[in-house]
C-alpha cells in the first residue's frame, strides 16, 4: 500500500477502505508519512468529501492511535458533554453539578483553552487550590464518591488528532465536516463515557456560522457516535451573542455558581436545561423531557447542585468557600464601562469580536505558552433586542491594564449595531439531533 495511490484515489472521490484509512492515520502518527503527503490527502478530503462509513473509520482509527480511558471502575452509566465552543460558554461548570446531583456520574476529561478564554480547567483554577492533576485511580474514586470529577486530558488520548489538527491549521483544511467531526469524536470516544451529548454552536461567535452547517456537523457526529455503539445526541444552540453575561475565566465561574444558586441568566439556564435533559435521558436517569427537567430544577431549588459543586471543588483541593462566597475570587484592578455611542435597540453583536476583547485583556491564550490573567474579562450589560440610550453602559470591562482596557473598549463598540425598531426575539436552542433524526424548534 502506498500513500501516493491513496491520495490519487481520494483526489477523484473514490471511497477508501478501513484498512486504507488505518494505513494513513497510523502511518502519519508514527512518522512514516510526511507532512506534504498528508497535506495533499487532507485537501483531497476537503474537496471530495468522505461518506459516513469513511468518516466513522477515520474517527475510530484516530481514537485507536493512543490510549483509551476505561471507565468500567465507575459505578453506573457515565455521560460526557462536549461543546464546539463559544463566547461565555460555561455550561460544563453548571451542568456537571446539576447532573451529578441527579445521581448520574460525570467523569470529565478537560483541556486548557487556546483562544479568547481559558478552558474548563483554567476557569476552575481561579478557585484557590483547585487542581485537575490527579491519577486515574483518584479520578475513579472521586466520581464514585461524589458523582463528579474532572481530570486533565492526557497527551496520549487520540494523538493522531493532535498531529493532524496542527497540520490542518496551517494548510487551510480546517473547515471540512468529515475532518471536524472525526477530530471531535475521536477524543470523545477515547474518553470512554457510555453516552455523549454535544452542544453544537452556530452564529457569529461559533465555528459553524449557519444553522444548516451546524446541523450537518451535528448529524455527522451523532451518526459516528451511534456507529461506535454510544448513545449520542446533540443540540444546536445560539452563539449570535455571548452566552450569559460573563466573558472571562473567574467571571464565568461566578456566573455558573449564580446559576446553581437559582439566579443565572435565562439563555444560559435554557442551554443547560436542554443539554441536561439529554444527559439524563441518555443514561436512563429520566424517561421523558418533563421528568428530566423536573429533576434538574429540583437540584437548584433544594441546593443540592450547589453543594455538589462545593464538594467537587473541595475534593480536588480547592477552597469550597469560593462557591458560597464569590467575593473571595481575585478581583481585577479596574472596572470601566463601555458607553453606547447611539440610542436604539441592539440589533446585532459580532460575538467573536467580544471574545477577542477578552483575549486583548489577557483572558485567553494566543499561544500555548501564553499566561492567562484569570481575573479579567467583561460583564455584558446590553444584549440583542435590549433598548439602550447613548452614553448608557453596554458592558463593564474588568482589567489590570488601562491600555488594554482602551483597546478592548474600541473593539467592543465596533462589534455592536443598533436599530430604531426592536428586533424579533431569537431562540437559544434551534434543533435537536438524535438517532430518531433532526427536530427543529
Q: What are phi and psi of 247, to 5 degrees?
A: -130, 120
Candidates 226, 227, 225, 204; CA nearest to 214 is: 204
Asked if residues 140 and 45 have their Cβ atoms less than 8 Å apart, the reply is no
* Catalytic residue list contains 183: yes
Whose CA is closest to 26, among 43, 9, 1, 8?
1
Pairing between β-strand 231-238 and β-strand 195-202 as defined by DSSP bridges: parallel
Catalytic residue among 182, 183, 233, 399: 183
Q: Is 387 a catalytic residue?
A: no
What is the distance between the alpha carbons of residues 250 and 179, in angstroms, rounded to a whole number? 33
Cell triple for residue 28?
502519519
Which position among 63, 108, 116, 187 bears the catalytic label? 187
In angstroms, the CA 297 to CA 292 distance is 9
116 catalytically annotated: no
**Is the Cα dihedral 372, 376, 379, 380 positive or negative?**
negative
C-alpha 219/C-alpha 247 separation (Å) is: 29
Which residue in 63, 168, 201, 308 is the catalytic one?
168
Buried b (16+ CB within 10 A) or exposed e, 151-179: bbbbeebbbbbbbbbebbeebebeebbbb
Catalytic pick from 82, 90, 201, 277?
Answer: 82
C-alpha distance across the termini of the chain, in Å: 48
Gap between the Cα atoms of 279 and 105, Å rounded: 10
187 is catalytic: yes
- The answer to whether 111 and 291 are in contact (CB under 8 A) is no
Catalytic pick among 22, 57, 89, 161: 161
- Per the annotation, the verdict on 204 as an active-site residue is no
Provide the annotated active-site residues: 82, 161, 168, 183, 187
Amino acid at each position: 500500500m502506498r500513500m501516493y495511490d491513496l491520495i490519487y484515489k481520494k483526489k477523484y472521490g473514490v471511497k477508501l477502505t478501513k484498512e486504507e484509512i488505518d494505513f494513513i492515520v497510523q502511518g502519519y502518527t508514527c512518522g512514516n508519512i510526511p507532512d506534504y503527503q498528508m497535506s495533499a490527502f487532507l485537501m483531497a478530503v476537503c474537496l471530495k468529501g468522505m461518506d459516513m462509513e469513511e468518516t466513522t473509520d477515520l474517527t475510530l482509527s484516530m481514537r485507536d492511535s493512543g490510549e483509551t480511558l476505561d471507565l468500567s471502575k465507575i459505578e453506573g452509566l457515565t455521560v460526557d458533554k462536549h461543546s464546539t465552543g463559544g463566547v461565555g460558554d460555561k455550561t460544563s461548570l453548571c451542568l456537571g453539578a446539576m447532573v451529578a446531583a441527579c445521581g448520574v456520574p460525570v467523569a470529565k476529561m478537560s483541556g486548557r483553552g487556546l483562544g479568547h478564554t481559558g478552558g474548563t480547567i483554567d476557569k476552575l483554577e481561579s478557585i484557590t487550590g483547585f487542581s485537575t492533576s490527579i491519577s486515574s485511580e483518584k479520578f475513579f474514586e472521586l466520581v464514585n464518591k461524589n458523582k463528579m470529577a474532572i481530570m486533565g486530558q492526557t497527551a496520549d488520548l487520540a494523538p493522531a488528532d493532535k498531529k493532524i489538527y496542527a497540520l490542518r491549521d496551517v494548510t487551510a483544511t480546517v473547515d471540512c465536516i468529515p475532518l471536524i467531526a472525526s477530530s471531535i469524536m475521536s477524543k470523545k470516544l477515547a474518553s470512554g463515557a457510555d453516552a455523549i451529548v454535544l452542544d453544537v454552536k452556530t452564529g457569529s461567535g461559533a465555528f459553524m456560522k449557519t444553522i444548516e452547517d451546524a446541523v450537518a456537523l451535528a448529524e455527522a457526529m451523532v451518526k459516528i457516535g451511534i456507529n461506535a455503539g454510544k448513545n449520542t445526541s446533540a443540540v444546536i444552540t445560539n452563539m449570535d451573542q455571548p452566552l450569559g453575561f460573563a466573558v472571562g475565566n473567574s467571571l464565568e465561574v461566578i456566573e455558573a455558581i449564580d446559576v446553581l444558586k437559582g439566579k443565572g441568566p435565562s439563555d444560559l439556564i435554557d442551554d443547560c436545561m436542554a443539554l441536561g435533559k439529554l444527559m439524563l435521558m441518555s443514561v436512563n436517569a429520566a424517561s421523558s423531557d418533563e421528568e428530566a427537567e423536573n429533576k434538574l430544577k429540583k437540584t437548584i431549588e433544594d441546593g443540592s447542585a450547589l453543594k455538589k459543586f462545593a464538594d467537587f471543588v473541595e475534593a480536588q483541593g480547592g477552597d469550597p468557600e469560593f462557591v458560597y462566597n464569590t467575593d473571595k475570587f481575585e478581583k481585577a484592578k479596574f472596572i470601566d464601562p463601555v458607553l453606547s455611542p447611539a440610542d436604539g435597540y441592539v440589533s446585532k453583536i459580532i460575538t467573536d469580536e467580544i471574545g477577542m476583547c477578552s483575549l486583548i485583556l489577557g483572558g485567553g491564550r494566543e499561544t500555548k505558552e501564553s499566561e492567562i490573567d484569570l481575573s479579567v474579562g467583561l460583564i455584558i450589560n446590553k444584549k440583542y433586542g435590549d433598548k439602550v440610550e447613548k452614553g448608557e453602559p453596554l458592558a463593564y470591562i474588568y482589567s489590570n491594564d488601562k491600555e488594554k482596557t482602551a483597546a478592548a473598549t474600541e473593539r467592543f463598540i465596533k462589534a455592536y449595531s443598533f436599530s430604531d425598531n426592536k428586533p424579533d426575539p431569537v431562540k437559544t436552542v434551534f434543533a435537536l439531533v438524535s438517532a430518531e433524526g433532526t427536530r427543529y424548534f
